[in-house]
């Protein structure tokens, strides 16, 4: 998650900015899903 925000901070163009935010959200969702799966198991 911290890596995603480091990339986010380096972004200049608004298009890349949006893409980076979306990638960060997807990464966060994957991490949460993995944690939920571990809790459920």
pLDDT higher than threshold 90 for residue 15? no
Binned at pLDDT 50, 70 and 90, residue 8 comes out as: low
> CA-CA distance, 17 to 24, in Å (whole number)?
11
pTM: 0.52
Question: How confident is the model over 21-38, as pLDDT tens digits?
Answer: 899 999 999 999 999 898
The angle at the Cα of 34, spanning 28 to 39, to the nearest 5 degrees, equals 125
């Amino acid at each position: 998650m911290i890596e995603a925000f480091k990339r986010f901070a380096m972004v200049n163009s608004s298009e890349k900015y949006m893409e980076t935010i979306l990638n960060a959200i997807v990464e966060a969702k994957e991490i949460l899903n993995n944690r939920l799966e571990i809790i459920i198991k």
